[in-house]
Amino acid sequence: MPADLTPAVPALTIAGLRKSFGSNEVLKGIDLTVAPGEVIAIIGKSGSGKSTLLRCVNGLETFQHGTLEVDGQALAQDNAAAMRALRQRVGMIFQSFNLFPHLTVGKNIMLAPGLVRKLPADVLLERARRLLERVGLAEKFDAYPDQLSGGQQQRVAIARALAMEPMMLLCDEITSALDPELVGEVLAVVEALAKEGMTLLMVTHEMNFARKVSDRVIFMHQGRVHEQGPPERLFADPQTAELRQFLSSLQ
């Protein structure tokens, strides 16, 4: 690397993150640095704290100890303006889609950029159409969410998140609620995003997908990053008994 090139600011830096629900400590000191454009797959047993970790990154959960920086900006939990700025940089896709059922697909996508970014109507419209095309649903602009299949709804949810032009996407088991035959169409969209350089933090049970798309796999166990590494190594040669056991339980 040439000496005059300053290293890129990490997309995400988490240090000493601890989070409890009441007396139940769910995250027990997470340290994690994610480079811009890096694709991270988070795996682990149910209850190991994967969702909670993702939800801390965009402030859906508050945490008690540690620091979290997105693109060099420290997350300030009780500063509403700072949280609003942060959430524009970090998009989230949920397992249950969470589309707004009373709005058409187009309005689902245009709502937040219109309110938060105050974009004019023609820009909004153009953006929504372009994003829908990108997720292969151009003809569904005027449909309501309940008229779509699960896979289509999830692709709309991705388009909706992208409409805010985030630098990073958090995906929490986004194919877990789908019928098996609909999983592929959603993963294809995510894979395309990864190729285009989107920073991705995704909790997933799709090990083949994690192997194929991610740069790094994080194995969480009992609220800690128990083991991590590039997918080829991590899946082929797990170092800890817990990861070995987890991987064999999937078979």
Partner 1 sequence: MVEFTLWDILRNLLFAARWTVLLSLIAFVGGSLVGLLLLIARLSTHQLLGRAVAAYVQLFQGTPLLMQLFLAYFGMAMLGAQTSVWTAATLALTLYSSAFLTEIWHGCVLSISRGQWEAGQALALGFIEQLRHIILPQAGRIAVAPTVGFLVQVVKGTALTSVIGFVELTKAGTMITNATFKPFVVYSSVALLYFLICYPISAYARSLERKLDAR
Ligand X SMILES: Nc1ncnc2c1ncn2[C@@H]1O[C@H](COP(=O)(O)OP(=O)(O)O)[C@@H](O)[C@H]1O
Binding stretches for Mg ion (CB under 5 A): 51
> What does 48 interact with, of ligand X, partner 1, Mg ion, none (CB < 5 to 8 A by kind)?
ligand X
164 is a contact residue toward partner 1 (CB under 8 A) = yes
Strands 73-74 and 65-70 turn out to be antiparallel
* C-alpha span between 212 and 214 (Å, rounded): 6
Residue closest to Mg ion, measured at CB: 51
Q: How far is C-alpha 78 from the chain's CA centre?
A: 22
94 is a contact residue toward partner 1 (CB under 8 A) = yes
59 is a contact residue toward partner 1 (CB under 8 A) = yes
- 227-233 long-range contacts (CB < 8 A, ≥24 apart) are 231/41
Which of 216, 213, 218 lies closest to 230, judged by CA?
A: 216
The structure tokens 């890096």 sit at 38
Q: Tell me how far, at minimum, the Cβ of 158 lies from ligand X, in Å.
A: 20
Member of 5, 6, 7, 21 binding ligand X (CB under 6 A):
21
* C-alpha span between 214 and 193 (Å, rounded): 12
Member of 99, 124, 220, 225 binding partner 1 (CB under 8 A):
99
Contact positions vs ligand X (CB under 6 A): 21, 26, 44, 46-52
Contact positions vs partner 1 (CB under 8 A): 58-60, 80, 84-85, 87-88, 90-92, 94, 96, 98-102, 111-112, 115-116, 160-161, 164
